[in-house]
Structure 1
């Protein structure tokens, strides 16, 4: 399957202090790396999930792809074209083929505009003056299951689920090939979450678009995605098919994430894995494998050597970064780092 979006060695950093303060304090690198050498691809018509704890860099990647955040290095190519290498006029047609659903369904809608104006704003931005605003707004509302009279409402008159549907409708306005959905079920009741996910799945089947879904909700990920990429401290540490990773995770961090997933069956036997210690600060990244301070399988090499990317012996498309993957026999726990 052809890659629609390809992210290669992406690095994004943020300044932690101004130049003068850095000079006065002798700080040579007043930055934190929020995204460190991330690579993945989204194929046409598929759903890829970026999964990880809060602060792992998922939303930063999304904002960089869509052009709201600049990368220090690396590349983002869409349909074979390097986005950063295109001029503003050349880039616009490609950005038009991507759309983003932001994490806050109400906060991402301007409180001063009615729903009709919010839905037709993409047409104005891209200079599509031949469209009838009223007809387009009604079409988009109908597509997401909202009555036509919602066009005259303001965002504060919408519930969370209704605001999310408006956000989906706005994202679909220009018939994009890729939708980036940042926590599409955040802040919604469970029943409304199901409605939103089923709506996205139906629209994907009808329109054939690809979806990059960003979430830490593993039930959402399992329901929606074909493949998933696990992130930790701004790095992708495991990538593979969703079914394969849920059944046979290779990285210990992935194992712990899956074990912590809520189980609706009250009679289910739970095998929780408690991670010791705190998530390390981005300003003080551990040496070697950055997960070794919390990993129950960690050995001396883990604190010294950063692991290379390896492929699972059972699935060449399932890759991970770990010295002691779970599919091999784990080392004896003689002195596991981070435990008493």
Structure 2
């Protein structure tokens, strides 16, 4: 089955200083790699989660896919069409097939526009005519469980949950094939979080759209995603089905994330894993495996050689680790290591 969205070897950089300062200080490459060689695909009707600590590059990937950030290199294809090579006007029909829900539900809504204007704004931006924009706004509100009279309200008159529903409605305005949801439950009460997640799941079943979820909340990931990708310092370090990764994590970083997930049962026996040290700076990436400075299983080779991708027997679960965790054990399972010498930090994910 062909992929709806295919991202290959995506690299995104940000400047660390202006051109003049770089010239004066003699800095040849005043950039940091926020996303390093990331590749993945999403199929129609599928839900993929990007998981990782703040600053790992999750939102940067989302903003690059949607066209708010340009990539330095790499490929972004929708149904096989490369969109990075298209001009602004040529990109619009393809960008219409995607919509994004931003992390701040109220802050992402213009305070000077009514809900009606916010919901119909995508039609104006893309130059699309509609015979009844008012009726369309009411239809979108009904889809997300809000009364029609909400069309006259302003964002400051909405609660966090209501603003999130308006954000979902706005994302659905042009019938996209893919919705990118950046922390869809951030800042919401637990009960409201459940309502929003159930709403997204229902709309996905009804409309058949794919969803890319960016979240720290592993309970959200387990509840509604098919596959997940774990990010660390701008790279994918483990990718696979959600069920497989939760049951059999192979990378030590994934193991630590899952162990830190809140447990609602007060009588549950917790086995927390403490990660020592701070997250390294993107400006000073560690050599070899970038996680070795915090990994309790790290050995000498981990500080020298960047790990190549490995895969499980069925090739649907990949990870980057010299000593991946063994099944049903808290000890790493040694793998056959390449005899190649030390590798630079420019390895691809």
TM-score computed with the length of structure 1 as normaliser: 0.96
- Checking the alignment, whether the CA contact within 8 Å between 1:138 and 1:151 is kept in structure 2 is yes
Is the partner of 2:117 in helix, strand or coil?
Answer: helix
Matched with 2:344 is: none
1:272 and 1:131 map into 2 onto residues whose CA distance is 57
In structure 1, what is the Cα distance between the partners aligned to 2:199 and 2:333?
A: 45
| Counterpart in the other structure of 2:324 | 325
Partner of 2:8: 8
- 2:114 is matched with which residue? 114
Tell me the residue number matched to 1:170.
Answer: 170
Runs of 4+ displaced beyond 6 Å: none
Determine the structure 2 residue equivalent to 1:336: none
List aligned pairs for 1:193-232, cutoff 5 A: 193-232=193-232
**1:303 maps to what in 2?**
303
Residues 1:64 and 2:72 aligned together: no
Alignment partner, residue 133 of structure 2: 133
Task: Say if 1:48 and 1:213, in contact at 8 Å, map to a contact too.
Answer: yes
Aligned to 2:273: 273
Instruction: Give the aligned partner of residue 248 of structure 2.
Output: 248
Q: Partners of 1:298 and 1:178 in 2: how far apart?
A: 39
For the 8 Å contact 1:123–1:131, the answer to whether it is kept is no
- Supply the distance in 2 between the matched residues of 1:234 and 1:87 (Cα, whole angstroms): 27
Structure 1 counterpart SS, 2:180: strand
Aligned length: 331
Aligned residue for 2:285, secondary structure, equals coil
Alignment match, 1:89 = 89
CA 1:27 to 1:172, structure 2 compared with 1: closer, same or farther past 3 Å?
same
State how far apart, in whole Å, the 1-side matches of 2:152 and 2:141 are: 12
Structure 2, gaps ≥5 residues long: 335-349
**Contact 2:280 / 2:286 at 8 angstroms: preserved in 1?**
yes
> Secondary structure in 2 aligned to 1:54?
coil
Alpha carbons 1:297, 1:331 under 8 Å: kept: no
Separation in structure 2 between the aligned mates of residue 131 and residue 29 of structure 1, nearest angstrom: 52
Could you give the per-residue CA deviations for residues 162-215 of structure 1, whole angstroms, max 9, x where no partner exists?
Answer: 000000000000110000000000000000000000000000000000000000
Residue 94 of structure 1 and its aligned partner are, at CA, apart by 0.7
Deviations 1:298-324 (A, max 9, x none): 0111000000011013x3100000000
SS in 1 for 2:174: coil
Deviates more, 1:128-137 or 1:67-76: 128-137
| Structure 1 residue 331: Cα displacement | 7.0
DSSP-derived class of the 1:85 partner: coil
SS of equivalent to 1:12:
strand
In the aligned structure 2, how far is the partner of 1:233 from the partner of 1:82? 26
Deviations 1:238-272 (A, max 9, x none): 00000000000000000000000000001111111
Q: What 5-or-longer segments of structure 1 have no aligned partner?
A: 333-340
Contact 2:14 / 2:31 at 8 angstroms: preserved in 1?
yes
Q: CA RMSD, aligned part only?
A: 1.1
CA distance in 2 between counterparts of 1:330 and 1:212 reads: 31
Cα distance between partner residues in 1 of 2:105 and 2:10: 27
